[in-house]
Amino acid sequence: MAIMNVNPTRMQLSKLKKQLTTAVRGHKMLKDKRDELMRQFLDLVRETRDLRDKVEADINECNAHFVNASAVMSKESLDASLLSPKQQVNIETNVKNVMSVEIPEFSASNRTSDSGDIFPYGFAFTSFELDDAIISLNNVLPDLIKLAEMEKSCELMSAEIEKTRRRVNSLEHVMIPRYQETIKYIAMKLEENDRSSRTRLMKVKDMLLDKAHNYSGKQA
């Protein structure tokens, strides 16, 4: 692990120790965030899978009703019956914050409150099979909107988990070890400088004592 290009001073050592403490604290917070995001993401994935299975089954049923309707009605009559819809569905989008991830919330509302407006035709020249198809399609719409909300939430949470995972790995395997190695290097350099300084002081002391008391001359 390469150390940082810094001056081996006590001030720099103190600064790096503070940065290491911050990095360790940030690593723990990001790791906790990643774990909680994973838990909520897996719960959401299970709910999404169950809802998708239900929606697919309902859509298959809806398709079966349309097949039955096309079997008893001509294509021209069927197309003409669906040309002028009376009902309109409005979708409103909000967001909610989950572990700093803004995920969507979809809410649907009909243009009118009359339940009969889901049928874009009169009943005189259509079959009850087409009525069943329209009813089943209307019933599956809320689940379809909810499924879109949940799948988009899964996508956003997955991206945030990956981004958080990269940050955790960067701190754990790159930044924190680099801080530790640099701190160790600076501490060793400071100890080495202290030993050198003590050695020089001892030599200076010996020289001063020799000069003051002429130790060398006495020994001679």
In a domain, 22, yes or no: no
Instruction: Identify any residues that bridge with 84 across adjacent strands, giving them in sequence order.
Output: none
Please give the full DSSP string across 103-165, using - where no structure is assigned. EEEEEEEESSS-GGGG--S-SSSS-HHHHHHHHHHHHHHHHHHHHHHHHHHHHHHHHHHHHHH
Residue 183 belongs to a domain: no
Closest C-alpha to 101, from 143, 152, 146 = 152
57 domain residue, yes or no = yes
Q: Is the Cβ–Cβ distance between 160 and 98 less than 8 Å?
A: no
- Hunting for tokens 């003409």 — which residue is that? 80
Say which range, 40-44, 82-86, 105-109, 136-140, has the weakest mean pLDDT: 82-86
Separation of alpha carbons 122 and 130, rounded Å: 11
Mean pLDDT of 192-219: 72
Residue 3 lies in a domain: no
pLDDT category of residue 183 using cuts at 50, 70 and 90:
very high
Q: What percent of the chain has pLDDT over 70?
A: 95
Domain holding 146, by residue range, is 32-159
Q: How many domains does the chain have?
A: 1
The answer to whether residue 10 sits within a structural domain is no
Tens-place pLDDT, residues 89-142: 899 999 999 888 999 999 988 888 888 888 888 877 788 889 999 999 999 999
Q: What is the domain-level CATH number for residue 40?
A: 1.10.287.3240
Residue 214: the pLDDT is: 67
**Two tokens, residue 9:** 């001073």
Q: Tell me whether residue 101 is in a domain.
A: yes
Give pTM, 2 decimals: 0.77
Structure tokens at 7: 């001056």
Residue at 125 is within a domain: yes
Assigned domain for 64 exists: yes
